Amino acid sequence: MTSSFDAVSNLQEAAKRNLWLHFTRMSGYEDGEVPVIVRGSGAYVFDQHGKRYLDGLSGLFVSQVGHGRQEIAEAGARQASELAYFPLWSYAHPKAIELAQRLAELAPGDLNRVFFTTSGSEAVESAWKLAKQYFKLTGQPERYKVISRDIAYHGTSMGALAVTGLADIKYPFEPMTPGGVRVPNTNFYRAPAFVSDDLEAFGRWAADEIERAILREGPKSVAAVYLEPVQNSGGCFPPPPGYFQRVREICDTYGVLLVSDEVICAFGRLGYYFGSERYGYQPDIITFAKGVTSGYAPLGGMMVSDALMEPFITGTATFLHGITFAGHPVSTAVALANLDIFEKEDLLGNVRANERAFRATLEKLVDLPIVGEVRGAGYFYGIELVKDKATRETFDDDESERLLRGFLSQALFDAGLVCRADDRGDPVIQLAPPLICGQEHFDEMERILRAVLTEAWTRL
């Protein structure tokens, strides 16, 4: 019989020999253990030794309803026994229809059509392909470029990577798919001096930069602008007041599609089903994934306006694009059960009622010398770390390496908190807990962060 000690060490050995972790420096595990998470319940997950962690990142901005929900697991199991698989290529199945109808009811304005994918990258890429084919069908074949923001993450497949604004993760895969154009993001903490004391003026400038990019590139060559409601990468940049209204105006002026990439921001992360609803703008396309199933099965997709669908519904045209597992019966059944929980437990209401308390609890950390700013919205926050609060000086590469990769990530995990120490922009810690969380979870996060960040400062 295998003892539990053997089972643990066998898993470790196999993990190191056979498994390739994503965006992970594998050599980092030469001397240490690969963290193996075996179980989840509510806002907590447990590793192979039985140790408990607060899931302060909802896995990866995914587990909105929390872990261990029997009713979602059962909905998936029921669907697998009834019809485990059939494609959406020329056929439909009831759960995909039902979910499409439900999403159309929840989405803003006339976003009535759902094209399912299995992931966020595929959703982002599908939106680009749709924009390109739509413009070819409507007599504007030269429109192919896409504008997105500095440091924004929109996925890793080659098309989505060209929309992504993070040079370091693109460089190994150059040359990129042509057409990606960058504009400034809405990081007010690091705004240019001429707008650094006026949030609205900063927002107007950042939006106008999109117009300048369109004019520079040639207005007839630009197909779409991709924006997250709150930009994740770089540490949660909310939009300044009026920003999205100005962007909408610019897109209308130049006939450019506005894609709201809500892979993180949809399904309650900001207290609404869609982030565009919170900020009062109407996108032409919404891309989503992650929270639509709370991770109980993979699913993504894009929601498209009636106008964009028109050339595909009235003539002989076909959108020449498809993915075998997109809109999978089990995933769509799971998504419906997930949305039932949203309704039954009023999770949007929970986020709206508690978001101020979440912010206030995290803002207590501002008394630490290493905490530059706490920013975000809903249940989605970034804490920017700085070397000097007065000058907002950030860490050099060597300090970042020692602090974030060498200490913080591991120390936070060891202290029982799953979150993310990220230095793809300036160094930040990101938090996005399950939407079921309340004050006791906020306090637990603050307590762990305070202890670990205090220790980090002494190591600089």
Ligand X SMILES: Cc1ncc(COP(=O)(O)O)c(C=O)c1O
Binding residues for ligand X (CB under 6 A)? 119-121, 124, 153-155, 228, 232, 261, 263-264, 289, 300
Nearer residue to ligand X within complex by CB, 271 or 298? 298
Q: Which is nearer to ligand X, 262 or 444 (CB)?
A: 262
Q: Closest distance between ligand X and the C-beta of residue 181, in Å? A: 17
Tell me how far, at minimum, the Cβ of 122 lies from ligand X, in Å: 7
Q: Which tokens hold the place of 237? A: 């940049």
Min CB(151)–ligand X separation in Å: 12
User: Which CB, 182 or 364, lies closer to ligand X?
Assistant: 182
DSSP secondary structure letter of residue 271: S
Q: Which is nearer to ligand X, 148 or 305 (CB)?
A: 148
- The answer for residues whose C-beta is within 8 angstroms of residue 34's C-beta and 6 or more apart is 12, 15, 16, 19, 21
Least separation, in Å, of the C-beta of 123 and ligand X?
7
Q: Which is nearer to ligand X, 151 or 453 (CB)?
A: 151
Please identify, using beta-carbon distances, which residue of 54 and 127 lies nearer to ligand X. Answer: 127
Question: Please, which residue, 113 or 269, has the CB nearer to ligand X?
Answer: 269
Residue number of the CB closest to ligand X reads 120
The number of beta carbons lying within 10 Å of the beta carbon of residue 274 is 25
Minimum distance of ligand X from residue 22's CB (angstroms): 9
Closest CB 95 distance from ligand X, rounded Å: 20
Distance CA 362, CA 10 (A): 39
d(CA 315, CA 313): 6
User: For every residue of 226-252, which 3-state class applies, written as one string?
Assistant: EECCCECCCCCECCCCCHHHHHHHHHH
CA 85 to CA 93: how far, in whole Å?
Answer: 9
Calculate the alpha carbon distances from 176 to 119, 163, 170, 172, 214 in Å.
20, 10, 8, 10, 20
**Edge-first strand listing for the sheet containing 300-305:** 111-117, 300-305, 285-288, 257-261, 222-227, 145-149, 180-183
Q: Give the DSSP per-residue string, 276-291.
A: HHHHT---SEEEE-GG
In the complex, minimum distance from the CB of residue 105 to ligand X, in angstroms, rounded to a whole number:
23
Give which of 199, 200, 269, 202 is closest to 231, Cα–Cα.
269
The nearer residue to ligand X, 262 or 426, going by C-beta atoms, is 262
Residue spans of beta strands (DSSP E) within 266-343: 285-288, 300-305
Environment class of residue 64 by beta-carbon count within 10 Å: exposed (0-12), middle (13-18) or buried (19+)? buried
Number of neighbouring beta carbons within 10 Å of residue 119: 22
Question: What's the closest the beta carbon of residue 201 comes to ligand X, in angstroms?
Answer: 27
> Minimum distance between the CB of residue 383 and ligand X, rounded to whole angstroms?
18
Nearest to 120, CA basis, from 20, 226, 19, 193: 226
Between 150 and 208, name the residue whose CB sits nearer to ligand X.
150
